[in-house]
Chains A and B, each alone.
Chain A
Amino acid sequence: MSLMIEAIYFVTAAVFIVGLKQMSSPVTAHRGIVWAGIAMVIASVATFGAPQIHISMDFADSPNFILMVLAIALGSAVAYISAKKVAMTDMPQMIAMYNGMGGGAAAAIAAVELVKLSDGGASHGVVIQTLAVLGAVIGAVSFSGSAIAFAKLQGIMRKTFRLPAHQLVNIGLFIAVCVTGYWVATGSPVSFNEVILFFVLALVLGIMVTTPIGGADMPVVISLFNALTGLAVAFEGFVLDNAAMIIAGTVVGSSGTLLTQLMAKAMNRPISNVLFSSFGSDGGEAAEEEIEGSMKEVQAQDAAIMMAYADKVIIVPGYGMAVAQAQHKLKEMEDLLTARGVDVKYAIHPVAGRMPGHMNVLLAEAGVDYDRILDLDEINPEFPTADVALVIGANDVVNPVARSNPDSPIYGMPILDADKAQNTIVIKRGKGAGFSGIENHLFYADNTRMLYGDGQKAVAELIAGIKEL
């Protein structure tokens, strides 16, 4: 590989690291992604000069170059249009999809190299073959797993599908993948059929690992797949002897792992728990204790009065707000209340929504000031002094069971103390339990009032109510 390309890859890797660093601060984040973008374009263009790439316009003679240009155009166009059009609320599943594409690409690179070996290509030794196989497994699992995560979040796949003894099946599959992977990694020459079998098994493993995981755990899973894709890219970087891929992939692998840990920690669920057990599947019903009190409904008019004459209102948004696209209405209500001298704040649980920061992104979209948006640790001491806590589309993150009932699946998860506010108003679509299927004792508390309806409509009614005063 020419010195020039090597130098460009070197600079690219450095810019990626600086870019990621900048992305971790709100002031420089935008600059960070733009720099990384420029580096990516330069690296891709430079790659056309690589000795493996023969630029030829003659399709019959050498179709590689024309196919390459077509593939880049196709992949870019589809991704560009989808990323531009998608609503902010649907961003998590889009990240899952683009991430899956990266994993698929890494697996496909391995497939090209392995098929080449099975076709009598010169082997680069067991170490390289092993790395190719490792990258292939990880990439393939990330690809099919991300596709399932996308389908679940997009609502294409609603049910949580689980075989009897699902974990045993998965363990069996994993062993099968390891065995075929070993055959392929040590094969000389590599058997073509074994390569095919190996890839099919790896793809099925990705699907089987992801299907039993509930939607509430998806952010952790997407983050994990993101880290895995990074690792797969790094391994294929070793195979292709490409330092930019090794460094960028490894950096993403480790930073993604850290991010995954942060999320899992916020949910108080070890990553192994997320992957190998499912929410509410075991002992949930048996441990269910009798709930005292009943759900008390409130009219929007009365709720509006409660808030308009309050000194302090804390809004607790959750995924329901995202689904209802209620963030703009919330901002409108905030302005009205602020004009009346009410202190309005937003309380964000680390895992509210489908991703950490999901709520922040949506509220920022609506133009809510940063200073009003507070984290769990910052806001929890303020709940007892709040006149009204308005819970909109959040459930598990305000469930006091997490504090009180050791048998509950969410026991120990830090929650927002909405129940400690003087009054709590809960905007909720229906009477059903939340994502985890756990009954929420907050809804039955004496000072809780339920305002049923779609988030956006309910807030619009509240706004109308406040305006009338």
Chain B
Amino acid sequence: MVEGFTALYIFMLSAFTGYEVISRVPVILHTPLMSGSNFVHGIVLVGAMIALGHADGTLELVIGFFAVALAAGNAVGGYVATVRMLEMFQTGNKGKAQGETA
């Protein structure tokens, strides 16, 4: 069980991590990165599955169904879109990073 201050610590440390991890991203990767982080929050799928898993009654089942379908769409769409974008950087990839964003 994640609770109380432990939860707050996790929250704080994750927030700093997210900030640090992308702080040196070159401009050319901004769109793919936005798409990639969009994919990462597709992890909401596991939550949606659990919500639907313990849903009782028609209304909860319907909402749960939407939750899972939307979350799966987020994850799959985010993944395919990101991969498609990044594949374009593959050919002739010399790994030249552009300057940092202002």
Contacts and interface: CB of A to CB of B under 8 A. Distances in A.
B46 A244 contact: yes
14 contacts: A24-B24, A26-B96, A40-B39, A47-B45, A72-B72, A106-B44, A111-B67, A248-B43, A250-B14, A265-B102, A356-B30, A360-B27, A361-B28, A370-B98
B36 A36 contact: yes
Nearest to B49: A47
Interface of A: 9, 12, 16-17, 19-21, 23-27, 29-30, 32-34, 36-37, 40, 43-44, 47-48, 50, 52-54, 63-65, 67-68, 70-72, 74-76, 78-80, 82-84, 86, 88, 91-92, 94-95, 97-99, 101-102, 104-106, 108-109, 111-113, 115-116, 119, 222-223, 226, 229-230, 233-234, 236-238, 240-259, 262-263, 265-266, 348, 350, 355-358, 360-361, 364-365, 367, 369-371, 373-378, 414
B22 A24 contact: yes
B81 A91 contact: yes
Secondary structure at chain A's binding surface: helix, strand, loop or mixed? helix
A257 B16 CA distance: 11
A376 B85 CA distance: 22
Contacts of B76: 75-76, 79-80, 83
B80 to A, nearest CB: 4
Contact of B88 (A47, A64, A108, A361): A361
A97 to B, nearest CB: 7
B1 A241 contact: yes
Contacts of B98: 360, 370, 373-375
Interface residues on B, range: 35 or more
Given A26-B28, A252-B40, A108 B51 contact: yes
B39 A64 contact: no
Given A79-B74, A238-B2, A252-B41, A29 B50 contact: no
Given A24-B25, A112-B63, A240-B51, A30 B86 contact: yes
A400 B53 CA distance: 58
A369 B14 contact: no
Q: Which of A257, A258, A373 lies at the interface centre, i.e. has the most chain B CB atoms within 10 A of its CB? A: A258
Interface of B: 1-2, 7, 10-11, 14-19, 21-57, 59-61, 63-99, 101-102
Contacts of B42: 40, 98, 102
Q: Which of B15, B32, B44, B67 lies at the interface centre, i.e. has the most chain A CB atoms within 10 A of its CB? A: B44
The 6 A-B pairs at the shortest CB distance, nearest first, are namely A75-B72, A79-B77, A254-B18, A108-B67, A53-B53, A250-B14
Given A25-B97, A112-B52, A370-B96, A98 B73 contact: yes
Secondary structure at chain B's binding surface: helix, strand, loop or mixed? helix
A47 B101 CA distance: 39
B14 to A, nearest CB: 4
A68 B52 contact: yes
A26 B97 contact: yes
Contact of B44 (A24, A34, A245, A348): A245
Contact of A377 (B7, B32, B39, B102): B102
Contact of A109 (B57, B67, B87, B88): B67
Given A20-B36, A27-B93, A50-B53, A259 B68 contact: no
A360 B36 CA distance: 16
Contacts of A265: 101-102
Contact of A29 (B16, B52, B78, B86): B86
Nearest to B83: A33
A91 B82 CA distance: 10
B57 to A, nearest CB: 7
A365 B48 CA distance: 35
A92 B7 CA distance: 34
B73 A79 contact: yes
A83 B41 contact: no
Given A76-B76, A104-B66, A105-B48, A350 B27 contact: yes
Contacts of B67: 71, 104-105, 108-109, 111-112
B83 A30 contact: yes
Contacts of B29: 23-26, 29, 357
Q: Which of A54, A105, A113, A365 lies at the interface centre, i.e. has the most chain B CB atoms within 10 A of its CB? A: A105
Nearest to B90: A30
A375 B75 CA distance: 32
Contacts of B15: 250-251, 253-254
A16 B75 CA distance: 13
